[in-house]
Structure 1
Amino acid sequence: MPKKLMHGQWQDVEEELAADITAGRFAKGAPLPKEAELMGRFGVGRHSVRRAIAQLQNRGLIQVEHGKGTFVRDGRLNYRLSERTRFSQNLLDQGREPFGKAIKERVIEAPRRVAEALRLPLDEQVYHIVRLEYADEEPVNFSNAFFPVRRFPGFDKSRREGQTVSSILADYGVTDYIRLRTDFIVRLPTKEEARQLMQAETQPILLQKKVDVDMKGTPVSFSESVWAGERVQFSIDNTSQLLNALAQNS
């Protein structure tokens, strides 16, 4: 017998199919059941099925190929974490196209959590950059980054001139920096986070907090980023530590 949903709404169809996909009940690249089959399974009309499919496509879980069918995407980003993690290079190494845009850039007084992470006095000024990052035109990361104004005066002017963060830091003598610490928290997104990442508010995100330091151990930036949980998986890459150890023992 078909499964009758409590409310018969497209959101119910979307969430059940999303759960099936993320749990691996549909193989990557496999076709979804036909429209009529989904209508029978959920006891809903064609409109509910089509709207659910459209939202799953917006979330990056499926791909609709006209004339062929609807297929589960094999597009989850494998984001490697290491002491020198760089977003663009991470994506390029996997054949993905990185793209980012600044949503807001301003100077603010550092909130307590930011001041503590950057080892600054309370309310000292920091540059606050809000960005949205994409992988192949798909939003994957919505971030808030902070840089100390006193150490990097003119940071905002350089940003307006189109310089990247790494090149600006290099202008101030920070030619290399490493990840000191990364923390992850799983939670539901805010309305704004869900809107920016084009995902449902009921779908968890990964909140990443990280501190980057120069080669003397002084913090150069602190950021809080939310990642679309369905589109990204993280792996820890300790290759550099292994190579250093092998070099020292050779």
Structure 2
Amino acid sequence: MNPNPQSAIPLYFQIEQDLASLIASGVLAPGSQIPSEEELVQKYGVSRTTVRKAVQELERLGLIEIRRGKGTFVRAAKLTQELTALTGFVEDMVAIGLQPSAKLLSKETVPATEEVARQLRLPIGTEVMQIRRVRMADDVAISLDETYLPLGLGRKVVENDLEVYPIFSLLEGKYDTPLLEADYRIEAVSADPAVAEALGIEEKAPILLIERVSYSLDQNPVDFEKLFYRGDKLRLTTRLQRRPSPIPLEALPRIASKGR
């Protein structure tokens, strides 16, 4: 497509629409890299300013993403995770045909904060093992996982290659710690500088914070995690059953009148 400078439609919008059409048709497939700024300037015969405006609009629409130091790529569809069973990241990614991997950022003994102590049912200040990893799917950063384990169990876990072995698999397959169920808390938050740097996103970008406490036998908490998921990469789904309403039909007018 050759942009028409005589048209009332701005040049950047003509280019934006052409690229959006290529994305919609699959010519530019999800995950593929779009031409560089210089290549787009040559292709469309316009200024860099015009190309940048078109690319910025495509990014604003969520059709592309800019990866620092790598280029600009067509945004893949969101990963869909069903909240119907206790599963780990590797299991979730394999189930949808993606290649999981991990980058270990740190593993260290730290004193339990009030939050960590409460979740693991330990006195505040008790030493626990903290493990921080970036979890990736097809080499794209998806989440930053911050895991806390009781110190005795944590010291065993960190002896393993945590870029290869999931913690769930080690707990169940090597350290005789079956995971039976978990509590989930999900909150929409903004990425702080540390999370943004780890995930390669902008500060204050929308992310999902999932706090998960996993329990073993006798309802003992053995694993507390703070999972920072990119908001543009994950969709959570579940199916809910309707329970009988505790509010009788005849009580509704009375309830409504109180709010006036």
Normalised by the length of structure 1, the TM-score is 0.67
- Flag the 1:126–1:102 CA change in 2: closer, same or farther, 3 A: same
Return 5+ residue gaps in structure 2 as ranges.
Answer: 1-7, 29-33, 35-39, 241-260
Say how many residue pairs are matched: 207
Q: Secondary structure at the match of 2:202?
A: coil
165-174 or 217-226, which deviates more: 165-174
Distance 2:129 2:239 in 1: 30
Aligned residue among 78, 81, 92 for 1:79? 81
- Conservation of the 8 A alpha-carbon contact between 1:101 and 1:132: yes
Partner of 2:190: 188
Q: Secondary structure at the match of 1:99?
A: strand
Return 5+ residue gaps in structure 1 as ranges.
Answer: 6-12, 64-71, 239-250
Partner of 2:176: 173
Q: Secondary structure at the match of 1:115?
A: helix
- Flag the 1:29–1:204 CA change in 2: closer, same or farther, 3 A: farther
Q: Percent identity?
A: 20
Aligned residue among 45, 50, 73 for 1:45? 50
Distance 1:3 1:122 in 2: 61
- Conservation of the 8 A alpha-carbon contact between 2:109 and 2:128: yes
- Conservation of the 8 A alpha-carbon contact between 1:83 and 1:178: no
State yes or no: 1:58 paired with 2:57: no
Normalised by the length of structure 2, the TM-score is 0.65
Distance 2:217 2:9 in 1: 62
Deviation at 1:204, TM superposition (A): 0.5
- Flag the 1:160–1:3 CA change in 2: closer, same or farther, 3 A: farther
Distance 2:127 2:239 in 1: 34
Deviation at 1:74, TM superposition (A): 3.8
Deviation at 1:93, TM superposition (A): 1.0
Letter in 2 for 1:195: E
The runs of at least 4 consecutive aligned structure 1 residues that moved more than 4 Å come to 1-5, 26-32, 47-55
The one of the two structures with greater contact order (alpha-carbon pairs below 8 A, sep at least 6) is: 1
Deviation at 1:160, TM superposition (A): 3.1
Letter in 2 for 1:173: D
Superposed counterparts of 1:97-246, under 5 Å: 97-150=99-152, 152=153, 155-162=154-161, 164=165, 165-170=167-172, 171-174=174-177, 176-236=178-238
Deviation at 1:80, TM superposition (A): 2.5
Q: How big is each residue's C-alpha offset from its partner over 1:144-163, in whole Å with a ceiling of 9 and x where there is no partner?
A: 1100114x2xx335423426
Task: Compare CA radii of gyration and give the structure with the larger one.
Answer: 2
